[in-house]
């Protein structure tokens, strides 16, 4: 069988004849952005200029409008496509299906004229991701090594809440994480009935408002400056500040700090400084979750994404060894 999927040396995941996902490929008229993380928006300007259509979910479009500015997507023909609503191009059918990763994230199914089902998972976390049946599967490999397994998933949210509560007894708490995951932390803390006000830089505030627009429920005032918060709440001393991971060496250095990171596999919460903790909250499947997706999707061949960070070689080897399904990492 001629290979109907590939991952190019610049990270484009090619599906069928017409589709390129998550990087630009000049021979492909359809570009899909699976979600708004930077390593999935490669070559977006080229795609906007050269592709006939750039496809993404409405929520991903809203996030890119904030992250890249409202004029960015106006440079091309962007089509916001809802989950489970197929789009036909020539003799192929493209459908975005939901994945549990960040707001708006999608897996991409292409069905060709011969009825082959060619699927790319994008980034995903197994727990709440619907598994799609496939003949040919391209899967992310972030935690592709067998030792990237977490055996404590149920404890992580509880540890996050108790660590933040401990910090609030001493004063303000600074939380550091990536876009999407910060909003997940806000939701967890809100549901745990932690009352301290939330404060965040303007861009994170806009991203949080986008989450609210798309269904996130956190009914409490959100502030973008300490001055605004203090004049509204009259000298509140306790608060939780949310910053992008890139700011963790720049702000709140003398405060109680919590970083949320997926690269933790031994314990749900680890102390890294006198008043600093890392909580193992991940928006990717661990090794067991990746294998479980492949097992349920029942493909004849698997390609593991060897362009993005992870371990595509180990994952391919384990898919062959444990499931008896042919697999290979690409690009080689
Ligand atoms: Zn991602």
Q: pTM, whole model, 2 decimals?
A: 0.94
SS3 state at 92: strand
Distance 56 CA to ligand 1 centre (A): 14
What tokens does 312 get?
A: 């595509």
What tokens does 28 get?
A: 């492909």
Distance 86 CA to ligand 1 centre (A): 23
Closest listed residue to residue 40, CA positions, set 97, 82, 112, 102: 102
331 cis-preceded (ω within 30 degrees of 0): yes
Q: Contact 67/93 with Cβ under 8 angstroms?
A: no
What tokens does 116 get?
A: 């082959």
Q: Contact 123/288 with Cβ under 8 angstroms?
A: no
Distance 116 CA to ligand 1 centre (A): 26
Distance 191 CA to ligand 1 centre (A): 24
Distance 1 CA to ligand 1 centre (A): 31
| Beta carbons within 8 Å of 209's beta carbon, 6+ residues apart | 222
Distance 123 CA to ligand 1 centre (A): 5
Distance 77 CA to ligand 1 centre (A): 23
As a whole number of angstroms, the distance between CA 252 and CA 247 comes to 9
Distance 142 CA to ligand 1 centre (A): 10
Distance 197 CA to ligand 1 centre (A): 28
Q: pLDDT in tens for each of the 332 residues of the chain?
A: 458 999 999 999 999 999 999 999 999 999 999 999 999 999 999 999 999 999 999 999 999 999 999 999 999 999 999 999 999 999 999 999 999 999 999 999 999 999 999 999 999 999 999 999 999 999 999 999 999 999 887 799 999 999 999 999 999 999 999 999 999 999 999 999 999 999 999 999 999 999 999 999 887 778 887 777 777 776 667 899 999 999 999 999 999 999 999 888 889 999 999 999 999 999 999 999 999 999 999 999 999 999 998 999 999 999 999 999 999 999 99
List for the chain the helix, strand, coil content (%; round to 5): 30, 25, 45
Distance 247 CA to ligand 1 centre (A): 19
């Amino acid at each position: 069988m001629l290979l109907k999927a590939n991952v190019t040396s610049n990270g484009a995941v090619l599906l069928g004849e017409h589709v390129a996902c998550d990087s630009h490929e000049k021979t492909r008229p359809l570009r899909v952005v699976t979600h708004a993380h930077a390593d999935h928006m490669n070559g977006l300007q080229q795609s906007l200029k050269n592709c006939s259509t750039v496809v993404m979910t409405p929520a991903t479009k809203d996030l890119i409008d904030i992250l890249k500015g409202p004029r960015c997507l106006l440079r091309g023909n962007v089509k916001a496509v809802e989950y489970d609503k197929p789009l036909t191009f020539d003799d192929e059918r493209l459908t975005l299906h939901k994945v549990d990763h960040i707001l708006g994230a999608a897996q991409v199914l292409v069905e060709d004229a011969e009825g082959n089902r060619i699927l790319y998972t994008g980034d995903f976390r197994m727990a709440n991701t619907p598994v799609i049946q496939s003949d040919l599967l391209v899967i992310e490999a972030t935690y592709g090594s067998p030792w990237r397994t977490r055996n404590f998933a149920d404890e992580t949210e509880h540890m996050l809440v108790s660590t933040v509560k401990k910090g609030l007894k001493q004063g303000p708490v600074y939380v550091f994480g990536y876009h999407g995951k910060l909003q997940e932390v806000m939701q967890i803390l809100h549901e745990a009935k932690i009352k301290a006000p939330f404060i965040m830089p303007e861009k994170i505030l806009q991203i949080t408002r986008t989450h609210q627009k798309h269904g996130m429920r956190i009914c409490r005032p959100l502030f973008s400056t300490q001055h605004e918060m203090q004049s509204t709440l009259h000298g509140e001393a306790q608060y939780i500040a949310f910053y992008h991971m890139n700011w963790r060496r720049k702000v709140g250095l003398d405060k109680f700090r919590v970083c949320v990171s997926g690269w933790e596999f031994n314990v749900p919460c680890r102390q890294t400084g006198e008043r600093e903790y890392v909580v193992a909250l991940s928006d990717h499947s661990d090794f067991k979750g990746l294998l479980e997706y492949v097992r349920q999707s029942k493909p004849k061949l698997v390609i593991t994404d060897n362009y993005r960070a992870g371990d595509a070689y180990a994952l391919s080897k384990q898919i062959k060894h444990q499931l008896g399904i042919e697999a290979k990492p690409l690009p080689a």
